[in-house]
Structure 1
Amino acid sequence: MFYQMPSDSFSIKRKGHPKWYGSPFKLNNPLTRPEPEASETVPFTFRNGRECQVTIDAWYDMLMRGKRDIPMHNHPFTLLCVTVRDKNGKKVFARPLWLIVVGQRRGEITLTDAYEAYRHRYDLEHFFRFGKNRLLMASYQTPEIEHEENWWEIAGLAYVNLYTAAFLANRIPYPWERWLPDFKEPDSATLPSPSMVQRDIP
């Protein structure tokens, strides 16, 4: 549950504890949500060619509950609600995607930029999984932080080398991959995956 800014100003002196939170904002209850303060709509096309519209609604200066040592009422954020609809206006996904933008310069980030940045999370998760499993990114054990950071840079450089070699690498499938569409009819415009390049790196 989130909260809107309180209507009373913090500067008003009154008896008792100052009011930190305003009206509740429940993600699962549309009745508690006021009208969005900003909204943007951008086109989106799935890999299968399906065209949709992405609507991004925003509420500014929202708050969440904190703890005694984490005063979250001092850190407002921008709350985003992302909804994807097809040409007929029907929702593509049953539930919307909720995002928050935090930081003192959050007002400089457009709604579309925030949404596009989150879309890269899928690629980042794959990178960390590949980096840990195949590039030993998390395998170097040392009490020295500087040495560990150097190792992360080495793993990052190894990944860059794989990307550079992708333009020259041959597609070498495992026996159980030979019948996949990517190997039966390879697309010259699509680069091979990092693991595939690593097979052909010798």
Structure 2
Amino acid sequence: MTIPGKSRPFAKTLKERTYEHSPSPLGDLPVTVGYGYSTLAWIPEAQGSWALPLLHERITSWDSPISQAVQQLSSVSSHLPSRALSLWDSEYGCAPFVNQTAEFPVDKLMRLRSNLCLWGRPAAYGGRGRPKVHGDKFKLNDPMTWSSPVQQIEMDDPTLGKVRVQVWHNYHFRLSPTHPMSVLLVERLTTDDFTRISKPMWLAFTGLSMPTVTEVWRLYLRRFAIDHWYRFAKNRRPWTVPALSTPDQCDRWSDLMPIVTWQLWLARQLVAQRPLPWQKSQVKLTPGRVAQSFGSILALLGTPACPPKLRGKSPGWTKGRKRRPRIRYPVVKKGFSRPRKTAKKSP
């Protein structure tokens, strides 16, 4: 997942800042200036808010979220004991990501944007001309282009109410015709005032064996545990608090966040639950509850750090030493701009 981990719009001396999407921008546009991070995490439980980061890296100014995710998935998939199911946001539901990760020993379940257009399997070769690469058009926001679903079920979910799931097979992106996918449409049939969760959700599965229809869409909902981890790292852990001055310092500080999370996960059975007066007791402790009770373990372990030194008088700036202003770096704008069209001059 990619997220603007550190928003630094006023740090003009910080190198390699880029434009990042932000849900709470400073101005009118949902864009901020800072660093974006790509996190690949393991979701250990079927329910709950635990997400254990395996790789948590900054997206440099010369990389893109897709290329960073491909590198991370390549390095992690080679160490997995068995074939895993990876869950991806709509930013990765595209042909470049499917093409670059097709050989990795992992299954992928991706969310699709509702304005995409997919293509079916081409018809049999007629014997003349070049064989067709694409079949019928499947536009997600145009039901007139949909074929009859291969499978359709309706079920009652205890949280979302009545849900309908439709499945189509053998569809692909235009730029990845050799990698067919199974397409799923998940719709809530229960009407209420929450329009955000009433919108249909499009999913695409590519891999060896897709889970059953009744559970595959529920598996995708586990992806949102990474959102809980980001909120935990920002609110409960001081990830975005220090205003560091170099990219290397930001990387070293960000490396501590996965380490802290794994320590809390390993200590969840060792701490005694100490809820605050307004909190209810929990059977399975969340990361916040473990961090709240982690002080008892630190009291027993102690610390290898030296006691703080007494405050003294600073010598101040050396007399006669020249002050040099820090270098100001421009914001890096990723992507390529198309050249403007110029009118041809008549001879």
TM-score bin, normalised by smaller chain: 0.5 to 0.7
Q: Are positions 1:38 and 2:151 aligned together?
A: yes
TM-aligned CA deviation for residue 61 of structure 1: 0.7
Give the Cα–Cα distance (whole angstroms) in 2 for the partners of residues 122 and 23 of structure 1.
33
Q: Which residue of 2 aligns with 1:97?
A: 201
CA distance in 1, matches of 2:232, 2:267: 12
CA distance 1:23–1:158, shift in 2 (3 Å): same
What is the deviation of 1:24?
0.9
Q: Secondary structure, in 3 states, of the residue corresponding to 2:165?
A: strand
Cα offsets for 1:109-149 (capped at 9, x unmatched): 2112211110111223213553577397xx664xxxxxx8x
Take 2:290 and 2:258, find their aligned partners in 1: how far apart are those partners? 20
Q: Which amino acid aligns with 1:95?
A: K
Q: What is the CA RMSD across the aligned residues, in angstroms?
A: 3.4
Q: Give the aligned partner of residue 74 of structure 1.
A: 178
Length-normalised TM-score, structure 2: 0.41
Identity of aligned residues (%): 23
- Establish whether residue 201 from structure 1 lines up as the match of residue 308 from structure 2: no
TM-score of the superposition, structure 1-length normalised? 0.66
Amino acid paired to 1:164: Q
Higher helix share goes to which structure?
1
The structure whose Rg is larger is 2
Greater relative contact order (Cα < 8 A, sep 6+): 2
Counterparts of residues 1-202 of structure 1 (less than 5 Å)? 1-9=117-125, 13-16=127-130, 18-46=131-159, 52-66=161-175, 72-86=176-190, 93-103=197-207, 105-106=208-209, 108-130=210-232, 134=237, 141=252, 154-155=259-260, 157-165=262-270, 168-172=272-276, 183=278, 186-189=279-282, 191-202=284-295
Distance in structure 2 (CA, Å) of the matches to 1:92 and 1:156:
30
Q: Secondary structure at the match of 1:130?
A: helix
Structure 2: segments with no counterpart, 5+ residues: 1-116, 240-249, 296-347
Contact 1:135 1:158 in 2 (8 A): no
| Count of aligned positions | 165
Contact kept, 8 Å, 1:84 with 1:92, in 2: the verdict is no
Unaligned regions of 5+ residues in structure 1, if any? 67-71, 142-147, 173-177
Against the structure 1 CA distance between its residues 43 and 65, is the aligned structure 2 distance closer, same or farther, given a 3 Å change threshold? same
Change (3 A) 1:79 1:140: same
